[in-house]
A and B are shown apart, each in its own frame.
Chain A
Amino acid sequence: MKRPVVWLAGALAVLAAIPFVFGPLHTNLMVRLAIEALFAVSLNLLLSYTGLLSFGHALYFGVGAYGAALILTHLQGIPILVAVLLSALAAALVGLVLSPLLVRVRATAFTMLTLAFGQLMFVLCSKFREVTGGEDGIMGWTTPPLALPGLFSLDLRQPVNIYFFAVGLACLGILAMWFFTKTPMGSVMISIRDNQKRVDYLGYQVVLTKAVIFCFSGFFAGLAGAVYAVFNNLVSVGGVLHIMVSFQPLMAILVGGIGTFFGPILGSGLLLLLEEVTQAYPELALMISGVIFILVVMFLPGGAISFGARLRAWWRKRAYLRKARESEA
């Protein structure tokens, strides 16, 4: 129990120091990382823990983002945290509404169905101009400060403040999901991934459990979307509902390490770093990330997070072989 506490305290201290050590540019990069990581971990709950590949997770991200944009535009004076939580709840609700259909299918059929729902929402939001602003999206609302009346008031347009807002929410969300995987229901979730039939015959309700997982995953994807909206002060179909928004966290999971909890966070960081490095050559960026993706899938199927273990195994093997050769000689 002692060691994790030390780790956690260390990580929190580093996170708290970042905005004061780095400039606003890199602080903003960390905000994007927080959003991406939260989003990727919520998708990973489906992919690595329930064994379901979703091609439409942007649906929840988009609902959260549009929810926050609409609430902040039309309900002036609402506390920012309430707005963000309501948006995340809206995404969870979408998960609940779709779950009667989603729980019925598995494997490829599930993937295709999520793709269809994701694209459906994209088209709906493009066409429903009166509410969503169509292609232009929603922008220009005034984001209220993060405030407790009489105690403090933080202007979220300040990089430092939005940083703590985004990173704080992302940490809480990721921690909640991590805890979820450790609970009895988390065990049921993992067991559904491994053998749905057996879970059924042991007396667990597979369908209802999956529905709860969809809500849960949708909630945190929506939370990420809402933070995105607050951070960018702009929500458009291209930015939050496009199919690439669904693929981005999928890439992060595969590059970071599928089947692990923290891999997607590492993957999000690596992809963002790559994007920054190749920023000067935008036409090359996609190609480079594509090549890296292929290389990881082919040569490091466990993702970047498995790199250390692979290196250690290789080193041990080398040492063993050297010893064997010496004893032979």
Chain B
Amino acid sequence: MNVLQTKGLSHHFKGLQVLFGVDLQVRQGEHHAIIGPNGAGKTTLFNVITGTYRPTGGQVVFKGQDVTGLAPYKLARKGLGRSFQITSTFEKQTVFQNIRMGVMSRRGIRFDFWRRVAGMDGVTRETEEILAGIGLVAERDVLACELSYGKHRALEVSMALSTDPDLVMLDEPTAGMSKEETHATVELIKRLTKGKTMVMVEHDMDVVFSLADRITVLYYGAILASGTPDVIRDDQRVRDAYLGDMEFSHAF
């Protein structure tokens, strides 16, 4: 069953067409990577799926429902979580408070102003469990902006997962990381997304091949190929599209 499906999704910014009828299919439980050269429209595809922009054409179907152009908060409540390419946490709040925002949302605690949040034992316990799961227990009371870059990115990814979404979309989770940090993050994502449906955009081919069950190649706003890592690796059109891209040729 497809958790997420886009039908003829297209988008343009003031005349500049970025997506040309993308038909993406994400099956239940799979780890799906979207790759493509710079400017292929990967992040735009992410943004029109998660509600940042309303697509100028086509349809987004999530869990069998048409969710085209739905506001981000509504999509989040339907079970879609996402992380951002540029780290976007609550920097002046502690790691604990950051994750707690996700836990509160998961429990539907939103317009509640007659109880102290610190007195909600269930929320506190659940938040601490998540912190233990992502290995940030020691950093519980550290401000997000004071974390090392790798840990801050890990927090970013964990926040997308903190609402316990049915589908999690990660926008370049390892962007800007060192080799060690990348490795640790890959392990973290593997662990956290076990049994979950995940879609990610990623440039680092090592990360893609160690995380994805299926890969979709986006090229100038359209899908060039879609299939298992082995199929993509051997696809001649993909090789041609990436010709000269050192990073990619290196990965093969």
Q: A residues near B, CB below 8 A? A: 179-180, 182-188, 190-191, 194-195, 197-206, 208-209, 212
Q: Is the CB of B76 within 8 A of A202?
A: yes
Q: In the bound complex, how far is the Cα of B81 from the Cα of A200, in angstroms?
A: 11
Q: How far is the CA of A182 from the CA of B92 in the complex (A)?
A: 16
Residue contact A204 to B105, C-beta cutoff 8 Å = yes
List B contacts of A205 (CB < 8 A).
73, 110
* A186 to B115 CA separation, bound complex (whole angstroms): 10
Task: Write 29 A-B pairs (CB below 8 A) sorted by A numbering.
Answer: A183-B114, A183-B115, A184-B109, A184-B115, A184-B117, A185-B111, A187-B101, A187-B104, A187-B117, A188-B101, A194-B90, A194-B91, A194-B93, A195-B89, A195-B91, A198-B159, A199-B101, A200-B73, A200-B76, A201-B72, A201-B73, A202-B102, A202-B105, A202-B159, A203-B76, A203-B77, A204-B101, A204-B110, A212-B113
Highest count of chain A CB atoms <10 Å: which of B88, B91, B110, B114: B110
**Contacts A191-B93, A198-B90; A185 near B76 (Cβ below 8 A):** no
Select which of B82, B111, B163 is within 8 A of A212 by beta carbon. Answer: B111
A197 to B76, CA, bound (A): 12
Residues of B within 8 A of A (CB): 50, 71-73, 76-77, 81-82, 84, 88-93, 97, 100-102, 104-105, 109-118, 120, 159, 162-163
List the B residue with the shortest CB-CB distance to A216: B113
CB <8 Å contact, A187 and B97 = yes
Closest B residue, CB atoms, query A205? B73
Contact in complex: B90, A191 (CB < 8 Å): yes
Distance between Cα atoms of A206 and B93 in the complex (Å): 18
Most chain B CB inside 10 Å of its own CB: which residue of A183, A202, A204:
A202
Point out the residues of chain B lying under 8 angstroms from A209, CB to CB. Answer: 110-111
Q: Are A184 and B90 in contact (CB under 8 A)?
A: no
Total A-B pairs, Cβ < 8 A: 90
| Sample of 7 more A-B contacts, CB < 8 Å, known A182-B116, A184-B112, A194-B92 | A184-B115, A187-B117, A203-B163, A204-B73, A204-B101, A205-B73, A208-B111
* Cβ–Cβ < 8 Å partners of B93 in chain A: 190-191, 194
CA distance A191 to B109 in the complex (A): 14
- Chain A residues near B115 (CB-CB < 8 A): 183-184
Bound-state Cα–Cα, A182 to B88, Å = 23
A71, chain B: closest CB distance, angstroms: 27
Chain B residues positioned under 8 Å from A197 (CB to CB): 88
Distance of A205 from chain B, by nearest CB (Å): 5
Closest 3 CB pairs of A and B: A203-B76, A194-B90, A185-B113
Q: Is the interface of B mostly helix, strand, loop or mixed?
A: loop
Known contacts A194-B90, A194-B91, A198-B89, A203 near B118 by CB under 8 Å? no
Selected from B112, B120, B163, the residue in CB contact (under 8 A) with A185 is B112
Contacts of A208 in B (CB 8 A): 111
- Which residues of the other chain, B, contact A212 by a CB distance below 8 angstroms? 111, 113
Residue from B89, B90, B100, B113 in contact with A186 in the complex, judged by beta carbons closer than 8 Å: B113
Q: Are A183 and B117 in contact (CB under 8 A)?
A: yes
- Chain A minimum-CB-distance residue to B123: A184
CB distance from A51 to the nearest CB of B (A): 10
Q: Say yes or no: B97 contacts A188, CB within 8 Å.
A: no
Docked complex Cα distance between A185 and B102 (Å):
13
With a CB–CB cut-off of 8 A, which chain B residues contact A203? 73, 76-77, 105, 110, 163
Q: How far, in whole Å, are A191 and B104 apart by their CA atoms in the complex?
A: 12
Closest chain B residue, CB of each to CB of A202: B105
Q: Closest Cβ of chain B: how far from A99's Cβ, in Å?
A: 14
Nearest CB of chain A from residue B77's CB, rounded to whole Å:
5
Q: How far is the CB of B132 from chain A (nearest CB, A)?
A: 21
Q: Which of B84, B102, B110, B162 contacts A184 (CB 8 A)?
A: B110
Q: Which residues of A contact B81 (CB under 8 A)?
A: 201
Q: Which residue of B lies closest to A187 (CB)?
A: B117
Kindly state the separation between the CA atoms of A183 and B115 in the bound complex, as whole angstroms.
6
Given contacts A182-B116, A186-B113, contact A200 B101 (CB under 8 A): no
Nearest Cβ on chain A to B119's Cβ, whole angstroms: 9
Q: Given A180-B113, A187-B117, is A195 in contact with B163 using a C-beta cutoff of 8 Å? A: no
- Which of A183, A199, A205 counts the most B-chain CB atoms under 10 A from its CB? A183
Taking CB as reference atom, which chain A residue is nearest B105?
A203
